[in-house]
C-alpha cells in the first residue's frame, strides 16, 4: 500500500482540475524560523503556500497553514455519510457528530488513518466490519442501533454488498485523500 504524502505535483493537479493558475518562485521563510525554504511556494486558490513547510501568504498577510487532523477529516466524512444515508432514505442515519458515541467517532478516525495509509475501499470496508462485530453488532436486514444486539445490513462479505454501499466506501477513500492534501489556516498546535 502506498503513501499519500502530499507532493507539489498532486497540488498542481488539484489546481489544474479546478481550473486554477499555478505560478512558482515565491521565496519565503519557514514558519517559526528565520531559515529560508529552498522550495518554491505555489499560488493555490488565491494564496501563496508551500507544500514543504506550511508557509502561506494571503491578502491578509503571511500566516502559517496546517493540515487537517485525522479527527477533523473524520468529522467531514461523517457528515458526508450522513447526507448519503439521508438522500437514499436509509433508516437510522448516523446522528450528529456531537451525539455520536465516542467509540464510533474513534472508529471513523481510524478509518481515515487507514485510507491515508493506502487501504482500498474493500480493505476499509473489511476493517469497518471487523470493528462493528467487535462492538457487538450482528447482521440484520435493517439497521437498528437500539436492538439487542444492534443490527446492520452491511455486515456481509464485500461481494454481497450492494454497489451503492461499495461506492460509499470508494467515496470515503477519495474524500480522505483529497482532504489530507489541503492546507487550512492555523497552526498544527492549534489543531492538536
Ligand atoms: Zn517552504
- pLDDT tens digits for range 154-167: 999 999 999 999 99
Q: Return the closest-CA partner of residue 168 out of 132, 124, 127, 130.
A: 124
Confidence of residue 118 (pLDDT cuts 50, 70, 90): very high
Does residue 80 or residue 21 have the better pLDDT? 80
In angstroms and rounded to an integer, the radius of gyration of the C-alpha atoms of the chain is 20
Q: Return the closest-CA partner of residue 119 out of 102, 182, 10, 128.
A: 128
Checking if the pLDDT of 62 tops 80, the result is no
**Long-range CB contact pairs, 138-141, < 8 A, 24+:** none
pTM above 0.85, yes or no: no
| CA–CA distance, 129 with 123 (Å, rounded to integer) | 10
Q: For residue 175, how far is its CA from the centre of ligand 1 (angstroms)?
A: 26
Q: For residue 179, how far is its CA from the centre of ligand 1 (angstroms)?
A: 20
pLDDT of residue 189: 57
Does residue 191 or residue 176 have the better pLDDT? 176
Checking if the pLDDT of 171 tops 90, the result is yes
pLDDT of residue 4: 25
Q: For residue 45, how far is its CA from the centre of ligand 1 (angstroms)?
A: 17
Confidence of residue 177 (pLDDT cuts 50, 70, 90): very high
| CA–CA distance, 96 with 55 (Å, rounded to integer) | 34
Instruction: Calculate the CA 61 to chain-centre distance.
Output: 28
Grid cell locating 46: 488565491
Amino acid at each position: 500500500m502506498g503513501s499519500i504524502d502530499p507532493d507539489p505535483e498532486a497540488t498542481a493537479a488539484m489546481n489544474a482540475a479546478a481550473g486554477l493558475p499555478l505560478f512558482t518562485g515565491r521565496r519565503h521563510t519557514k514558519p517559526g524560523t528565520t531559515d529560508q525554504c529552498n522550495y518554491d511556494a505555489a499560488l493555490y486558490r488565491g494564496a501563496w503556500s508551500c507544500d514543504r513547510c506550511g508557509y502561506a501568504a494571503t491578502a491578509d498577510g503571511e500566516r502559517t497553514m496546517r493540515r487537517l487532523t485525522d479527527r477533523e477529516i473524520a468529522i467531514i466524512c461523517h457528515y458526508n455519510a450522513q447526507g448519503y444515508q439521508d438522500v437514499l432514505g436509509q433508516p437510522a442515519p448516523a446522528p450528529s457528530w456531537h451525539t455520536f458515541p465516542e467509540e464510533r467517532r474513534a472508529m471513523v478516525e481510524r478509518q481515515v488513518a487507514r485510507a491515508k495509509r493506502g487501504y482500498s475501499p474493500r480493505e476499509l470496508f473489511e476493517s469497518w466490519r471487523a470493528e462493528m462485530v467487535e462492538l457487538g453488532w450482528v447482521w440484520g436486514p435493517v439497521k437498528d442501533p437500539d436492538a439487542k444486539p444492534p443490527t446492520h445490513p452491511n455486515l456481509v462479505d464485500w461481494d454481497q454488498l450492494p454497489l451503492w454501499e461499495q461506492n460509499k466506501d470508494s467515496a470515503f477513500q477519495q474524500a480522505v485523500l483529497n482532504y489530507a492534501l489541503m492546507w487550512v489556516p492555523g497552526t498544527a498546535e492549534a489543531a492538536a
